[in-house]
Amino acid sequence: MNLNNVHNVYFIGIGGIGMSALARYFKFIGKNVAGYDKTATPLTAELTALGIDIHYTDDLEHIAAPFLDKADTLVVYTPAVPETHTEYRYFVSMGFEVLKRSAVLGLITESTFCLAVAGTHGKTTTSCILAHLLSETNTSMTAFLGGISEDFNSNFHFRGNEVSVVEADEFDRSFLSLSPNVACITSMDADHLDIYGDVSELHKSFRDFKERIKPGGVLFVRNGLPIPGITYGIEDNSDYCIRNVKIEEGAYRFDLETPETTIKGVRFGKPGRHNLLNALVAFAMAVQTGVEPDHLAKALDAFKGVKRRFSYQMKSEHFIFIDDYAHHPTEIDAVFEAISEMHPEKKVLAIFQPHLFSRTNDFVDAFAESLSRFGSIILLDIYPARERPMPGVTSEWLLERITNPNKKVMAKKELVAEIKQQGPEVLVTLGAGDIGLEVPKIKRELEYAY
pLDDT at 194: 67
Burial class (CB in 10 A: 0-12, 13-18, 19+), 83: exposed
Q: Say if residues 289 and 321 touch (Cβ distance below 8 Å).
A: no
Distances (CA, A) of 304 to 91, 278, 284, 307, 381: 41, 14, 19, 10, 32
- pLDDT confidence bin for 198, thresholds 50/70/90: confident
* pLDDT greater than 80 at residue 101: yes
Task: Give backbone dihedrals phi and psi of 335, rounded to 5 degrees, phi first.
Answer: -65, -45
- pLDDT confidence bin for 193, thresholds 50/70/90: low
* pLDDT greater than 90 at residue 229: yes
Per DSSP, the three-state class of 174 is: helix
* pLDDT greater than 80 at residue 253: yes
Distance, in Å, from the CA atom of 149 to the CA atom of 270, rounded to the nearest integer, reads: 13
When pLDDT is averaged across residues 79-90 and rounded to a whole number, the result is 92
Radius of gyration, alpha carbons of the chain: 22
Looking at the chain, the domain(s) classified CATH 3.90.190.20 span 311-446
pLDDT at 26: 97
- pLDDT confidence bin for 329, thresholds 50/70/90: very high
- Give this prediction's pTM: 0.89
Looking at the chain, the domain(s) classified CATH 3.40.50.720 span 3-99
Averaged pLDDT of the chain:
94
Domain 311-446 class in CATH: alpha beta
State pLDDT tens for residues 360-393: 999 999 999 999 999 999 999 999 987 899 999 9
pLDDT at 192: 62
For the chain, the residue count is 450
* pLDDT greater than 70 at residue 38: yes
Q: Give the residue among 277, 288, 273 at the shortest CA–CA distance from 114.
A: 288
Q: What are all long-range contacts of 47-51, with beta carbons under 8 Å and residues at least 24 apart?
A: 47/14, 47/15, 47/20, 47/23, 50/24, 51/27
Q: Say if residues 350 and 378 touch (Cβ distance below 8 Å).
A: yes
- Sheet containing 8-12: which strands, arranged edge to edge? 53-55, 32-36, 8-12, 73-77, 97-100
Q: Give the residue among 158, 177, 180, 157 at the shortest CA–CA distance from 169.
A: 177
pLDDT at 306: 95
- pLDDT confidence bin for 173, thresholds 50/70/90: confident
Domain 3-99 class in CATH: alpha beta
Domain 110-300 class in CATH: alpha beta
When pLDDT is averaged across residues 403-419 and rounded to a whole number, the result is 96
Q: Which residues contact 331 (CB under 8 A, 6 or more apart)?
A: 121, 324, 325
Per DSSP, the three-state class of 226 is: coil
